[in-house]
Chains A and B, each alone.
Chain A
Amino acid sequence: MSTQTSSAAAMSAPSFLRRHGLWFFMLALMLVLPWVFYDHEKGRHSGFAITLLSEMALMSIFALSYNMLMGQAGLLSFGHAVLFGVGAYFVAHTLNFIRASGLPIPVELMPLVGGIGGLVCGVLTGYVATKQRATAFAMITMGIGELLTAAALMFMTFFGGEGGITTDRVVDTSIFGIPYTRPIQVYYLIVAWAMIAALLMFLQTQTPLGRMANASRDNYERTQFVGYDPKVIRYWQFILAGFFAGIAGGMYCLVYEIVTFDTLAAVKSANALLATYIGGAVGFFGPIMGAVLVVGMQSGVSLHTSAWLLYLGVVFIAMVIYAPGGLLGLFANHIPIARMGRLGELVVPYARILVPGLMMTLGFVLFVELTTHQTINAAQGKKFSLLGFAPDPGGTMVWLSAIVAMIGGALWVRHEGRFFMAKWNALIEDAKARGIVA
């Protein structure tokens, strides 16, 4: 991401493609993926895959909007789902209104309606929250989140209580004449809006506001000396983040056609936080990676195990301790070594750490699954199985091997980790000596 806006020369086709290739790649991937999971026998799309992909797209936008606060402005929010949820409620009510009044508002504009809902909510809650920063900001957002979640259960007219608001996206007001009866149609609408929203958020990082948000994150006092009011910067940034979170909420409403208080609740906010941090708050594309991973675990892994949240928590903690830059940061760390052309030297250290790493992970997973089976699943009458094997969960050998693999693997990883770090540090030192890393 260079700060310079590209001049006409840079706009020539090859360099334009190279610079923005990732965007085209993402778009192509999103357009093609539904057909990868196409069910040729039944001649229709896999409903599960479409819902999963839609969820990934809308969670990516939600996580990106979260990163406008966390990554860009250094504001840790624990109530971001409020903006998402209010956007979703706005869309649900608008759709119901269209159905009741027959007003020809196109369905295609629904995410924008959600965005406006999020924006309004951002203007109101942001006014209170952005008066403070750091821990106080985190606490205020948490308070607002809890407040609105509780209020959603209390006020029936807007939030619909526990049952939420149900709606129907098939209102026949499409400008393109698409009925939106099939999930694939909604999916492509979501892809379009996700691309627009992501692009806008990316451009926002290049604006003076985006830059000043970075400045107030890195050096709060100096920003004031330069003549900016950090409170105003925070407020604007919060409102814009609310707008994009609302767009994601609007997409959510279109996919599921029901909005409940869960969309406002702390778990949803926590998901955005986890996705953003695991993906990496340091770069623009990190949250997208994180959202795909979190949704994948939520929908994919949760089919196989009830302990998926534990795995997610462990991954998260490991990230916080060992890779504060998230997945994106991990990749970025390799760039200087790749530039020296010595990435190959890391293959052996990686291979050496992979074996004990796998052993530790398998031991841990086996141990967790055995425990969950004993306490939760056995009572539900489920049979124990892992990766196709079905050992007797009562046997001593299974437990023993799980514990030995877990602890032995951990010690072995520690041993190999030292070897790895020695090699890594030597390479980084070398890169520093050549002036590739600052």
Chain B
Amino acid sequence: MEVFVVSLLNGLVYGMLLFMLASGLTLIFSMMGVLNFAHASAYMIGAYFAYTLSLYVGFWVALIVAPILCGLLGAAIEMWGLRRVHKNGHIAELLFTFGLALIIEKVVQMTWGLIAVPYRIPSGLDFPLFDLWGTQFPAYRAFMLLISALMFLSIWLGLTRTRIGLVIQAALTHPDMAGALGHNVPRVFTMVFAAGTALAGLAGVIGGNYRVTEPGMAFSMGPIVFVVVVFGGLGSLTGCFIASILMGLIQTFAVVLDYSLADLLEVFGFVVTKATPGSEFLMVTLPRIAALLPFILLVLILVLRPRGLLGTRDT
């Protein structure tokens, strides 16, 4: 029970972090029609910006400023990079973001070094919030949950209840018609791209000190975020939310449940030993394949239901 509740909470924290990254990517994905490989790089840059800023002005200013800087960077990339490449087709756009991700990783290595930087949780939040059967739940995780819940609420309200949100929705699905009605669609795209990048940056600010801030963080996070976006479905924020939470829970629980197929067979009275054919495969425990699960899900969903959980059109 204790393990269950703690894992549930941790899974939620991780899931919400994923959602913060994936929500921006979903919007950008629906807009461009291609996945943005550099999205997780914005997450990394957010973390590094926050680290550097927190050295000088403290965590709370960094929490506001770092995402804004990321957003500006995103706007610049969209206006001077992606827009140019757009005329060369989808593959060129995809490859552009791919190259960008490579460059950003190297630039981060050049600027901040090859090893992880000591980006720590602010001392004001570094205390256990409550006790669960002897296991402490850190206040910082609750803070992460709070921030991501606030962000989810504001995106959702912004997209459905404001005028600009409706224009964005229109521009995502019917760009030509929205343009014909006098809306500046390219500017809407730039805004969405910048906002998505800023969100990824925010995820970096609060995720970088929860996990670890190192040059490899973008490439370890990127594929998982892709899985979430594809799994949730194109253009669906709700699907994205469900997929994020699901992925967070799956990954957390898979680490805790130390069982293998051999254990399952043992329940039915079939004991697997080293001599059993395929024993190597049967004896792999769940925590060891935890990292594999998202990709198995990705392949399955793309083959069986390419539009994802709640998507409106095929990937």
On whether A376 and B302 interact (CB within 8 A), knowing A134-B90, A136-B315, A277-B95, the answer reads: no
Give the dominant DSSP class at A's interface.
helix
Is B296 on the interface with A (CB-CB < 8 A)? yes
Is B187 on the interface with A (CB-CB < 8 A)? no
Contact residues in B for A76 (Cβ distance below 8 Å):
91, 94-95
Is B153 on the interface with A (CB-CB < 8 A)? no
Q: Which of A131, A147, A156, A379 contacts B280 (CB 8 A)?
A: A156
Bound-state Cα–Cα, A273 to B102, Å: 13
State which residues 28-54 of B face A: CB under 8 Å. 33-35
Bound-state Cα–Cα, A270 to B101, Å: 12
State which residues 282-315 of B face A: CB under 8 Å. 284, 288-289, 291-292, 295-296, 298-299, 302-303, 306, 314-315
Bound-state Cα–Cα, A128 to B299, Å: 8
Is B100 on the interface with A (CB-CB < 8 A)? yes
* A409 CB to nearest B CB, Å: 18
Bound-state Cα–Cα, A134 to B113, Å: 37
Contact residues in B for A146 (Cβ distance below 8 Å):
223, 292, 295
Residue of B nearest to A75 (CB): B91
Q: Are A143 and B103 in contact, CB atoms less than 8 angstroms apart?
A: no
State which residues 214-235 of B face A: CB under 8 Å. 219, 223, 226-227, 230
State which residues 110-153 of A face B: CB under 8 Å. 128, 131-132, 134-136, 138-140, 142-144, 146-147, 150-151
Is A157 on the interface with B (CB-CB < 8 A)? yes
Q: Are A321 and B81 in contact, CB atoms less than 8 angstroms apart?
A: yes
Contact residues in A for B90 (Cβ distance below 8 Å):
134-135
Q: Which of B81, B100, B114, B302 contacts A139 (CB 8 A)?
A: B302
* B147 CB to nearest A CB, Å: 29
Contact residues in B for A154 (Cβ distance below 8 Å):
284, 288-289
* A311 CB to nearest B CB, Å: 9
Contact residues in B for A156 (Cβ distance below 8 Å):
280
Q: Which of A46-54, A244-252, A367-375 contacts B (4 or more CB under 8 A)?
A: A367-375
Q: Are B292 and A135 in contact, CB atoms less than 8 angstroms apart?
A: no
How many residue pairs link A and B with beta carbons under 8 A? The number is 123
The contact string, 1 if C-beta is below 8 Å from chain A, for chain B 71-95, is 0000000000100110011111011
Is B96 on the interface with A (CB-CB < 8 A)? yes
Is A203 on the interface with B (CB-CB < 8 A)? no
Which of B84, B94, B302 has the most A CB atoms < 10 Å from its CB? B302
State which residues 76-104 of A face B: CB under 8 Å. 76
Q: Which of B99, B112, B227, B299 contacts A317 (CB 8 A)?
A: B99
Q: Which of B106, B113, B303 contacts A140 (CB 8 A)?
A: B303
Is B281 on the interface with A (CB-CB < 8 A)? yes
Bound-state Cα–Cα, A308 to B94, Å: 22
Q: Are B292 and A147 in contact, CB atoms less than 8 angstroms apart?
A: yes
* B240 CB to nearest A CB, Å: 15
Is B111 on the interface with A (CB-CB < 8 A)? yes
Bound-state Cα–Cα, A97 to B315, Å: 44
Q: Are B35 and A316 in contact, CB atoms less than 8 angstroms apart?
A: no
Contact residues in B for A372 (Cβ distance below 8 Å):
110
Is B107 on the interface with A (CB-CB < 8 A)? yes
Is B238 on the interface with A (CB-CB < 8 A)? no
State which residues 180-236 of A face B: CB under 8 Å. none
Is A355 on the interface with B (CB-CB < 8 A)? no
Bound-state Cα–Cα, A138 to B223, Å: 12
Q: Are B112 and A375 in contact, CB atoms less than 8 angstroms apart?
A: yes
Bound-state Cα–Cα, A320 to B32, Å: 17
Q: Are A131 and B315 in contact, CB atoms less than 8 angstroms apart?
A: no
Is A390 on the interface with B (CB-CB < 8 A)? no
Is A155 on the interface with B (CB-CB < 8 A)? yes
On whether A128 and B303 interact (CB within 8 A), knowing A140-B298, A142-B223, the answer reads: yes
Q: Which of A132, A312, A379 contacts B302 (CB 8 A)?
A: A132
Is A309 on the interface with B (CB-CB < 8 A)? yes
6 shortest interchain CB distances as A-B pairs: A310-B106, A313-B102, A143-B298, A313-B103, A317-B99, A143-B295
- Show the binding face of B for A, using Cβ within 8 Å: 33-35, 81, 84-85, 88-92, 94-96, 98-100, 102-103, 106-107, 109-114, 219, 223, 226-227, 230, 280-281, 284, 288-289, 291-292, 295-296, 298-299, 302-303, 306, 314-315
* 30 pairs, A vs B, C-beta closer than 8 Å: A128-B303, A132-B302, A132-B303, A135-B33, A135-B90, A136-B306, A139-B315, A140-B298, A142-B226, A143-B295, A143-B296, A144-B299, A146-B223, A146-B295, A147-B292, A156-B280, A157-B280, A270-B98, A273-B98, A310-B107, A313-B99, A313-B106, A317-B100, A320-B88, A321-B81, A375-B111, A375-B113, A376-B110, A376-B114, A379-B113
